Amino acid sequence: MAQSAQTFSNISDALEAVRQNFHVSTGFENAIGDLDKTPVTLTLSGNNVAPVFDALTVQRPSYAWSLEDGFYDVYPKMKAQTFSQISVARYTAKDATLREAVEAIDKLPSAQRWLAHRHLRRADLIGGSRLMPPRGDSVQPDLQRRPSLDLKKVQVRTILNQVYRKFGETHWTIWHERQDITMFFAR
């Protein structure tokens, strides 16, 4: 059954609809200066999600998309403006929790140089309820996971895709606002 075009108030809402409709995982980094307040119109029909991402980037030409590691990533076209496209010589997280695995990105020399060169700072490194400590005696199963990763010659978004996939997450977001960069995720 074909669906008609739907208008979403921003890319974030559009990606949420794409995830739900096509059962895919996504990564999103907003372009510096883009507060993501421009509506996006997409037709969420058929079995092929690629035309949906093509339509999104046609409407928002400062973005590109790619499918990597099972995640459909949307990120700024201008590589110099994108944290997710920083090249990393080696990323290692051994027996790490999700919080530790993502915090290890902040400690990467290439990430620290990129931030310092642009006079940016990391706001709360990560936002998301699953990173908060469990309440009471109950321990959330995903917080007990402690996988290891050893990646060489990759971009930050590849690290994010692999980390989030290991922990069963369906999307991540890197958000630039003024001098702050924040990472969010949710299931």
Pairwise CA distance, residues 107 & 67, whole Å? 26
48 inside domain: yes
The burial class, CB within 10 Å (0-12 / 13-18 / 19+), for 143 is middle
Place of tokens 């990393």: 88
The CA distance from 71 to 68, in Å, is 5
Same-domain status, 138 and 177 = yes
Looking at 24, 50, 79, the residue that finishes a domain is 79
pTM (predicted TM-score): 0.82
Residue 133 sits in the same domain as residue 65: no
CA–CA distance, 76 with 83 (Å, rounded to integer): 9
Sign of the alpha-carbon torsion through 126, 130, 136, 142: negative
Position with higher pLDDT, 74 vs 1: 74
Q: Do residues 28 and 94 both lie within one domain? A: no
Neighbouring-strand partners of residue 121? 180
Domain boundary among 52, 79, 106: 79
* pLDDT tens-digit map of 20-66: 999 999 999 988 778 788 899 999 988 899 999 999 999 999 999 99
Verify that 72 and 86 share a domain, yes or no.
no
Among candidate residues 77, 71, 90, the one with its CA nearest the CA of residue 155: 90
In degrees and rounded to multiples of 5, residue 6 shows phi and psi of -120, 140
Does residue 26 contact residue 74 with C-beta atoms inside 8 Å? yes
Can you read off the two tokens belonging to residue 159? 């690290």
Number of domains in the chain: 2
Residues 41 and 109 in one domain: no
| Residue 1 within a domain | no
What is the rounded CA–CA span in Å between residue 101 and residue 91?
Answer: 10
Query: Do residues 41 and 15 share a domain?
Result: yes
Q: Give the pLDDT confidence score for residue 99 in this predicted structure.
A: 83
Q: Are residues 106 and 168 in the same domain?
A: yes
| Among 79, 98, 121, residue at a domain's last position | 79
By residue range, what is the domain housing residue 157?
Answer: 80-186
Q: How far is CA 174 from the centre of its chain?
A: 6
Q: Average the pLDDT over 67-82 and give the result.
A: 90
Task: Kindly state whether residues 74 and 107 are assigned to the same domain.
Answer: no
Based on the fold, state whether residues 73 and 160 are members of the same structural domain: no
Buried-exposed string 39-59: b where 16+ CB fall within 10 A, e elsewhere: ebebebeeeebeebbebbeee
- φ/ψ of 16, rounded to 5, equals -60, -45
Tell me: the pLDDT tens digits for 124-182? Answer: 545 443 443 333 444 444 456 688 889 999 999 999 999 888 888 888 888 877 666 67
Q: Write the CATH number for 136.
A: 3.55.50
Overall size of the chain counted in residues: 187
